[in-house]
Every structure is written in structure tokens, then in C-alpha cells.
Amino acid sequence: MVPDKHVVEKKETPVLHKNIARVSFLVYLTIMGAVATRAQETPATTPSVPPAVAAGGSGDEADRGQSPVLQHRNRRYQLHSSDVLELNFPYTPEFNQAVTVQPDGYVTLRGVESIKVDGKTIPELVDSLRTSYAKILHDPVINVELKDFEKPYFIVGGEVGHPGKFDLRGDTSVAQAVAIAGGLRDSAKHSQILLFHRVPDGWLQVKKVNLKKMLKEANLEEDAYLQAGDFLFVPKNSFSKIERFIPTSSVGMYTNPVLH
């Protein structure tokens, strides 16, 4: 006897639903497993480090990370107090004048307010003058001539052969300045030479130069260049600081420590 068609379909339907549910569950497990695996493989996001923190570390690393200002040389003369300037206005000669830089760094100008010129180069001064005189003149043309000025110099003090004041002629590095001053004494601490440079607003910039390391490694790339008015100081080493307090009977401990 042939079974009824409708009866067969009713018996197969539950089995079909079970198969579909099983396949769907397997697909779901496969997808979730892939997502979980990817999440584990994804590296944790590293928080960004602020520049100030990233630049930290040991003192040597921080020093290497900094760009010494003294390394950037400015070949143009910078104005100082007592310098005498002649201002020439080709198209408005009634404003021609000679001015002297005052102790406070200012110059008194004809027809406009005083301006501060200390530390400026001649091109920078011309720009400042044009800005000032543009208030009363249309597109002013101004020529500036330095009539009298103090010759550039540097000073070397401390443990050198001939401390004193020297003319700054062309590019002069710390090593060259020490040689000009007669070289280092035996009591000099040539790993901590101090270079003082005056900056605007009355501040002093200090740079420590390790001349011992530079000479030992024959690498003068970090040798700083002096600017006009710089002061180079060579301190005493630790032994020279205490040798005058050493009893005569104890000198042998320092001259021949192997025997003690």
C-alpha cells in the first residue's frame, strides 16, 4: 500500500527543522570563535606618551635630546649699549640722525617713540625702524650704518694658563678659546667647563662642555662656539680642591695608593 503523500511530509518536517537549527548553531559558533580569536590577536592600544615624558630618562639621554642654543652661530653683529648708529633717510633727509644705544638698550628716535635695539642685528634694526616710521611716513626707506662699536670679545677664567679678556675674531670654539687662554692647568676639571652666554632680559644661559670626552674620542662635533661677550669658566678638579687640606704625612696615600 502506497503511503499518503501528506503523511510523509508531516513526518519529515520536524527532522528538517532540527537539521536547520543544528546548522545555524554551528555557523554561530564558527563566527563567534573567529571574533574571539581576532580579539585575542589584536594588540592592546598603547597610550600615547606626552613629549615631555618621552624626552625623559637619564641625564645623558636628556642632554643628547636637547639642541644647545649655543650651537647655532649668528655671524651678524648684535648691537650693544654705547654703539653709535647713523640713520639715513634718502627721500626724507629731515629725519637723518645719529643715535647711541643707551645702557638700557634703547635708542631715542626723531619723530617716533624710542625702541629697544639691544641684541638686534642691523637688518633686524632696519625692520624695526621701518615699522616705527611707517606710522608717519609712507613706505619709508632707511639705511643704517654702524659708526662705532665695541670689538667682540670673550672672557676665560678659572684653571687656564692665562685667564683674561680676548678679542673674538671669527668662529671660536670652546677648545680654541681654552688654547688661546694658555691651555688647561693640571688642576682643571676639563670634563665640566662652563660656558655662560647672556640672553635678553638679563638672563644667563649656561652650557656644560665636556672637553675631556671630546678630546678623548677625537670628536669635536659637540664643541660649542662662542659669541660676543661669552664667559668661559674652567673649575678646579676635586683633588685640587682638597689638596691644601691634606696633612703632609698623608700625601703618600694619594701619590702611591697601592702601598696603603
> For residue 8, is pLDDT > 60?
no
Pairwise CA distance, residues 83 & 46, whole Å: 57
List of domains in the chain: 84-148 (3.30.1950.10), 153-238 (3.10.560.10)
**Residue 11 pLDDT level (bands cut at 50, 70, 90):** very low
Q: Residue 57 pLDDT more than 80? A: no
Q: What percent of the chain has pLDDT over 70?
A: 62
Beta strand pairing status for 193-199 and 115-116?
unpaired
Percentages (nearest 5) of helix, strand, coil residues in the chain: 40, 20, 40
Q: 40: part of which helix (H) or strand (E)?
A: helix 5-41
Tell me the average pLDDT across 246-252. Answer: 51
Mean pLDDT of the chain: 76
Q: Identity (one letter) of the amino acid at 4?
A: D
Lowest-pLDDT range of 68-82, 161-175, 212-226: 68-82
Q: Which residue in 197, 174, 170 sits closest to 184, CA to CA?
A: 174
What's the predicted TM-score (pTM) here?
0.51
Q: Are strands 231-234 and 193-199 parallel, antiparallel or unpaired?
A: antiparallel
pLDDT at 23 over 50: yes
Instruction: Quickly count: other Cβ atoms within 10 Å of residue 65's Cβ.
Output: 11
**Cα–Cα distance measured from residue 116 to residue 126, given in angstroms and rounded to the nearest whole number:** 12
Whether pLDDT at 43 is above 70: no
Grid cell of 255 as nine digits: 701619590
Which amino acid does the sequence have at 165?
K
Whether 225 and 177 have beta carbons less than 8 Å apart is answered as no
Beta-bridge partner residues of 144: 87
Determine the straight-line distance between the first and last CA of the chain, rounded to whole angstroms.
122
pLDDT on residue 195? 94
Strand partners, 99: 85
pLDDT score of 34 more than 80: no
Residue 197 reports pLDDT greater than 80: yes
**Residue range 127-146: average pLDDT?**
97
- pLDDT score recorded for residue 108: 97
pLDDT for 15 beyond 90: no
Q: Is the dihedral of CA 218, 219, 220, 224 positive or negative?
A: negative
Q: b/e per residue, 112-138, with b = 16+ CB within 10 A?
A: beebebbebebeebbebbeebbeeebe
User: For residues 199 and 231, what is the distance between their CA atoms, to the nearest angstrom?
Assistant: 13
Q: How much is the pLDDT for 28?
A: 57
Whether pLDDT at 254 is above 80: no
Q: How far is CA 131 from the centre of its chain?
A: 30
- Which ranges constitute the DSSP H helices of 55-183? 59-65, 122-133, 174-180
